[in-house]
Amino acid sequence: SLARICRFDMLPDSLSDAQKRQIKGVQGNLWTEKIPTWSRAEYMFYPRLLVLAEKGWTEPGKFDEDAFMSRLLDYCRRLDDEGVNYRIPSLTNYHAVSVFTDSVRTAVVCPLPGAVLRYTLDGSVPTVNSPRYDAPLVIRDDCMLHIRPYHADGRTGDWITVRYEKQDYARPLEPRDTEPGLCVDWYFRRFPGCDAIGIPETLYAAGGRCVVDSVCFPRAAAGRRAVGMIFRGYIDIPATGIYTFALASDDGAILRIGGRVVVDNDGEHPLLEKSGQVALSAGLHPLELRYFDYNGGEIRLVLLGDDGARHPLDTDLLRHDP
């Protein structure tokens, strides 16, 4: 996505200052094994290539994502004039699972001004004949919202799915003598999905166990081509409310809190972030995160504030049974 490239660190901390000074430019690659036409190649290149160029000529640490996005319309007009089959930028301002206790207003936004959005609430894929999304919708019951952008010339963008859930605030547990961090078990085996990890227990013995301060790839579990992990413990919620979690993983991961799926990021895929919400009362709630990787991966979990700020989950919030 554009946001992912905007936030990509081209000078990571893993490089020394001397190594960083040796970087002379940046390069973007597109693997074309599954790109049948030049039109499809343009679709995959643009407008992501514009972000890459912008970051390439901007001083490190001075790239302004908001300023770039505000100029995106001008860039897209130029691409229109050149007849480039660029991808309509991804829709924003939504979570894959959106939770409410009474009612909620949709807030989906398309970064490309002038695009027409069309939606459905019956589970079908939006078409050119579907209702226009011209203003926020008021959601009062569980539903599945699909929204798809249309360019002025009739081209379609990728549709999104938002699952709206009406929830009561989950009640906390009162476990005794918990300790900081999460307990994680790992299994050195290739699994087809998250819910297959370590099942049945009579067949798969854990390859190791440790306690971690945050959701991360334990060093002791590194170095193997295939691994499955299960993080278990509690999250200490400071105040009753609706909480938003962002889960990034390579490959698949599923986050459950209080037995409820909050973020489903399962399946084999490159690093991908999804977000979801859950209504929680103040106190300790059971947390389970299942994650599998094949051929080198990454796992991250953060709490998103109402302003979009990303707050790490650490020992201030995470507990486990001794």
Domain for residue 248, yes or no?
A: yes
φ, ψ for residue 75, nearest 5 deg: -65, -45
Shared-domain flag, residues 111 and 76: no
CA 44 to chain centre: 20
**Which of these three, 19, 54, 81, is where a domain ends?**
81
Do 200 and 301 share a domain, yes or no? yes
pLDDT recorded at residue 126: 96
CATH code for the domain of 184: 2.60.120.1560
Q: Are 201 and 313 in contact (CB under 8 A)?
A: no
- Flag whether 89 is in a domain: no
Are 76 and 196 part of one and the same domain? Answer: no
Can you state the angle between helices 38-45 and 48-56, rounded to 10 degrees?
50
Residues 159 and 183 in one domain: no
pLDDT of res. 70: 83
Q: Report the CATH number that the domain containing residue 158 is assigned in CATH.
A: 2.60.40
Longest dimension (CA), the chain: 66
- Which DSSP symbol is given to 83? T
Q: Which of 115, 140, 166 is the last residue of a domain?
A: 166
What per-residue confidence (pLDDT) applies to 35?
93
Flag whether 160 is in a domain: yes
> What is residue 24's predicted lDDT score, i.e. its pLDDT?
86
pTM exceeds 0.85, yes or no:
no
pLDDT of 201 reads 66
Q: Identify whether residues 194 and 281 lie together within a single domain.
A: yes
Strand partners of residue 312: 302
In-domain check, residue 197: yes
Domain count of the chain?
3
**Quick check: is 261 in a domain?**
yes
86 domain-assigned: no
Dihedral Cα 280, 282, 288, 293, nearest 10 deg? 80
pLDDT per residue as tens, the chain (322 positions): 677 788 778 887 788 989 988 988 888 899 999 899 999 999 999 999 999 999 888 888 888 888 888 888 788 889 999 999 999 988 988 998 999 999 999 999 998 888 999 999 999 999 999 999 999 999 999 999 999 999 988 899 999 999 999 999 999 999 999 999 999 999 988 899 999 998 776 566 678 899 999 999 888 888 788 899 999 999 999 999 999 999 999 999 999 999 999 999 999 998 899 999 999 999 999 999 999 998 878 999 999 998 888 999 988 999 999 9
**Domain match, 162 and 184 both:** no
Spatial separation of the C-alpha atoms in residues 293 and 270, rounded to whole Å: 10
In a domain, 172, yes or no: no
- Choosing from 166, 196, 221, the residue where a domain stops is 166
Integer distance in angstroms from the first to the last C-alpha of the chain? 41
Domain that holds residue 22: 2-81
Q: Same domain, yes or no, for 189 and 134?
A: no
Same domain, 258 and 127: no
In a domain, 90, yes or no: no
